Amino acid sequence: MGLGRFGGGLDSARFAHSTGARVTVTDSASEESLAPVLKELAPLAGIQYHLGGHREEDFRNCDAVIVNPAVPPESDLLRTAAAAGALLTSQVEIFFQLCPARSVGITGANGKSTTTALTAHLLNAGRRQARIRQVWLSGNIGNRPLLEILNQIDPKDVAVLELSSFQLEQLARVGRAPDVALITNITPNHLDRHGTFQAYCDAKETIFRRQRLDAASPAVSIFNAEDPITSGWFERYAAQDGRTCLMFHHTHVPPAVAANFKLPGNANLSNLAAAMAVARQFSIDQNTVAACIADFKGLEHRLEFVARVRGVDWYNDSIATTPPSAIVGIDAFQAPRIIIAGGYDKKLPFDEFGRKIAEQTEAAVLLGATARKIAAAVETARIDPTRPELFFAASMHEAVEKAAEIAKPGSVVLMSPACASYDMFTNYKHRGDVFATCVRELPS
């Protein structure tokens, strides 16, 4: 249920087909909008497609439903399937039930993708030291989907996984969690799905709540010392037997390591400190980290340098889909900043983001469904009536042209939207690619 325009259900459909099951793919989206994903499934004979809407009889008559994380758990159709005796499961549940290797799971509101990639990078560099055969990067990140790699994973391997709140909700159903669990931080996100911040926190806490406690081989739980909520969780979980609890802080990165680290800002140092806390659990030493960290180039669409045009540096931070993650982007630079922001409305507050724009930027170019809301938050926080200047754009092309017009040599233009992309783009990657193309088309 839920193939998804970005292929979220592709891995599940392939896996189900490989088991010899009779597979029905059902999605409310049309065949036309799903065409690129359907092309990937075309070689698999016998799959039945019910697109452009779900059919209740499919859910009354099935043996199992593999549910895309984007499907709300309170769906009436899922209730129908459960009442008829069907097994409700998901890609992430199947993975955790069948994976023979140790797992590292990383979640959080901001920085989880970078931290997950950093963790895999450090474990890869220290494989021999840690006696790891292979490191697999998957979950919400990586090129290899969870179920695709199952038949290649060995007990001597380690799976490093980025896990969303939606996936963690699904894991709660089977009572599974990673052997090593880490949270980067927690701030309001996905309130359009979870309803309240407390419900979102509860979903995230599943990563610790469902860890298996074993005195002989303790679960490892890692928390952010700079985050008041997660450091509070540390106090609670540290009292439990069968669990090793740790905290990380951006100041924990030794100078010799920080000197080789290329990503800007304290938030990225915090991400590195988190990854190093995991690496230490696998006996990887500081010298190994210092030697390999210069090779880490960061992620696409996360404070990614695009180009220098007429003395202005342009950065793509399209993965910043919440106000707190966009604030991290602004804080990463000391140069005069122009920000491009706005997008789909996830019903998140923009007060702090508006204050940050008012205090630390020269101008903001706003677009998308939330443009006026962000502008209102900036006006409320404004101290200087002339700065920052606010502009509105109808497209990314127009936003880039306006930013180029007002930017001066030595300044930074940061596209850090603080919002999801669905109102104007397929996803955050599409948005980042369009931004980068527009920048590269500027006259030099």
pLDDT-derived band at 191, boundaries 50, 70, 90: confident
pLDDT above 90 coverage of the chain, percent: 89
Residue 5 lies in a domain: no
Residue 426 pLDDT > 90: no
Write out 279-333 in H/E/C secondary structure: HHHCCCCHHHHHHHHHHCCCCCCCCEEEEEECCEEEEECCCCCCHHHHHHHHHCC
pLDDT digits (tens, 9 = 90+) for 272-311: 999 999 999 999 999 999 999 999 988 899 999 999 999 9
- The CATH code of the domain that includes 341 is 3.90.190.20
Query: Do 141 and 287 belong together in one domain?
Result: yes
Please count the structural domains in the chain: 3
Residue 131 pLDDT > 80: yes
Residue 6 pLDDT > 80: no
Residue 346 lies in a domain: yes
Query: Do 288 and 319 belong together in one domain?
Result: no
Query: Do 69 and 168 belong together in one domain?
Result: no
- What whole-number distance in Å separates Cα of residue 336 and Cα of residue 381? 19
Query: Do 328 and 267 belong together in one domain?
Result: no
Q: What does the mean pLDDT of the chain come to?
A: 95
Average pLDDT over residues 109-131: 95
| Sign of the torsion angle spanned by Cα atoms 39, 42, 47, 48 | positive
Query: Do 175 and 245 belong together in one domain?
Result: yes
Residue 4 lies in a domain: no
Residue 46 pLDDT > 80: yes
Residue 3 lies in a domain: no
Domain stops at, among 63, 89, 115: 89
- The CATH code of the domain that includes 99 is 3.40.1190.10
Closest to 357 (Cα-Cα) out of 327, 385, 319:
327
Domain stops at, among 61, 89, 117: 89
Residue 2 lies in a domain: no
Write out the chain in H/E/C secondary structure: CCCCCCCCCHHHHHHHHHCCCCCEEEECCCCCCCHHHHHHHCCCCCCEEEECCCCHHHHHCCCEEECCCCCCCCCHHHHHHHHCCCEEECHHHHHHHHCCCEEEEEECCCCHHHHHHHHHHHHHHCHHHHCCCCEEEEECCCCCCCCCCHHHCCCCCEEEEECCHHHHHHHHHHCCCCCEEEECCCCCCCHHHHCCHHHHHHHHHHHHHCCCCCCCCCEEEEEECCCHHHHHHHHHHCCCCCEEEEEECHHHCCHHHHCCCCCCCHHHHHHHHHHHHHHHHCCCCHHHHHHHHHHCCCCCCCCEEEEEECCEEEEECCCCCCHHHHHHHHHCCCCCEEEEECCECCCCCCHHHHHHHHHHCCEEEECCCCHHHHHHHHHHHCCCCCCCEEEECCCHHHHHHHHHHHCCCCCEEEECCCCECCCCCCCHHHHHHHHHHHHHCCCC
Beta bridge partners of 248: 224
- The CATH code of the domain that includes 36 is 3.40.50.720
- What whole-number distance in Å separates Cα of residue 90 and Cα of residue 67? 5
Query: Do 268 and 312 belong together in one domain?
Result: no
Widest CA span in the chain: 67
Query: Do 138 and 230 belong together in one domain?
Result: yes
Residue 1 lies in a domain: no
Residue 235 lies in a domain: yes
Query: Do 308 and 349 belong together in one domain?
Result: yes
Residue 142 pLDDT > 80: no
pTM: 0.85
Residue 241 lies in a domain: yes
Enclosing domain of residue 372: 304-440
Query: Do 254 and 316 belong together in one domain?
Result: no
Query: Do 102 and 240 belong together in one domain?
Result: yes
- What whole-number distance in Å separates Cα of residue 443 and Cα of residue 384? 32
Query: Do 320 and 416 belong together in one domain?
Result: yes
Average pLDDT over residues 255-262: 94
pLDDT-derived band at 215, boundaries 50, 70, 90: confident
Query: Do 76 and 150 belong together in one domain?
Result: no
pLDDT at 5: 75
Domain stops at, among 40, 71, 89: 89
